[in-house]
Structure 1
Amino acid sequence: MLPRDERGEGNFSSMVGFVLLGFSDLPNFQGLLFGIFFLIYTFIIIGNGLIIVITRVDSDLQTPMYFFLANFSSLEICYVSVTVPRTLVSLWTQDRSISFLGCATQMCFFLILGATECFLLAVMAYDRYVAICDPLHYPLVMSQRVCVQLAVGSWVSGIPVQIGQTCQVFSLPFCGSNRVNHFFCDIPPMIKLACGDTSLNEMCVYIVAVLFAMIPFLWVLGSYIKIISTILKLPSTSSQFKAFSTCSSHLIVVILFFGPGTITYLRPKSNHSAGTDKMFSLFYIFLTPLSNPIIYSLRNKDVIAALKKLLPRKAGRGCQ
């Protein structure tokens, strides 16, 4: 366990740092977990990086849909990089200590990027809604300027609120154990370590979760209700299938992200367990970023065509 400052006990300022227990309850599987997480992390970086490259260099993909997809892939790379490298170091070295400032910084960036993902998924649903329900006005409504504004708004809107929430959590008195039963610094396990009354903090977590998760999710849900209603009115089965295929990839990612995330942050404190929190965290930290390049590569003919054009070009350069 990390030492405490001798200036005093029972005060958050006396906490030098924390210990992320992570998967220490599986001592015989540390090497296996490291290998699995490392491979997944590598695939996430390469897969999402490839999507960013092809959406930038292929002229056929210079559309709002792929502009937002490139933003989403960039976000996924940042999102996993906030938590996974630190987890890999812990698994490899068995050094699970993290400083007070390091823990607060990790949580802050994790929350900011999580809020960005919620907003960006809602924006992508709006893009599909306009494309399918109002195709004649699509170029005007989703102009380059509007797309940039929506993307920037998604990236920055959560910053002030999540910085405030992080400061609020780390202003709590941590006067007991400093052993965090998680593999990264998240709100539920940090609140569990706090002494005294944390009801205000829990209320703030619920409010922020509703604003940054439930409202975007309901927006996505409403968009897709209208989208499906419009698709069912299309005259031909082939048109319906094509419209469904352009939306299904995004919808799968939405379910994988919002489902576990909503359960984690909207459950009462009494229902939280370390094992369950870790399991749900694995979903939105690993599964969503991992599924993004797989879904958009295997289910998207435009992306596959762009990859086929890009790979021979790279191979040809390598032979010169």
Structure 2
Amino acid sequence: MPPIIAIANLAKTYATGYHALKDVSLEIRQGEIFALLGPNGAGKTTLISIVCGIVTPSGGRVTVSGHDILDEPRAARRLIGLVPQELTTDAFETVRATVAFSRGLFGLRADPGRIEQVLRDLSLWEKRDARIMTLSGGMKRRVLIAKALAHEPRILFLDEPTAGVDVALRQDMWRLVRRLREQGVTIILTTHYIEEAEEMADRVGVIARGEIVLVEEKAELMRKLGKKELTLQLQAPLGGLPEALAAYPLALSPDGAALTYTYDTKAERTGITALLTDLAAAGIRFRDLQTRQSSLEDIFVDLVRERA
């Protein structure tokens, strides 16, 4: 199946000379949840804005379901729903009216049933006649999503969708995103909350300084780059590591009371078994042990630090 979004050699240079994007190539698969991670200023919002037709690229090509965003902007934009970071809705308008208006912007006929369903899905139906200015921050965020879904897009961009919202709303939005994916909607998510990507994404892309650093299946990324640690609490402190253990990537705590062994999944079985055998042979006993695996956040920080 061809990608629903194909980005080739995309570049954006502003009049100030700032290179926001540098030769970005990326393909988004139909029906996936793709998380785009990157620090502030990495180019995430610029990339989304170009695909959505808000910003004009300096070079490269973008197609949305086969429609070139420059040659067929209306056809491409019709397929996309965008949830921006900031609320851009008339504060004096009602919830139902502003969502219905968004549908009309795409030349679609009025469909009260569709609007009602969207508002109910987002727990906004009881607020349908409330003015935007009277809503809480979390409710305003829900309105943004409702506006993006009003015209039944095949692609949904969520640009920092849960920034500044509470945990309950964040979990509600996660459930909504999963339900949309089950309905065949492709989701592209940018976020500073790494746990969102870890919880929801099928694939992860990392962007830094306007360049794509990595694109990988989330599970494969965790397998390849995720490190594991085995920490042993020793029965008696050590003054230093015995020569017999020099071949192992071990770290001794400052007080000599704990040994930490860092390993990857390939070395998991043989490495731990051999280590425990050699510890016993060296007369080193432990009273407790614990393991820890790198999170997606650990991997992200390492990748960005390496690129910087």
Q: TM-score range by the shorter chain?
A: under 0.3
Larger radius of gyration: 2
Higher strand proportion (structure 1 or 2)? 2
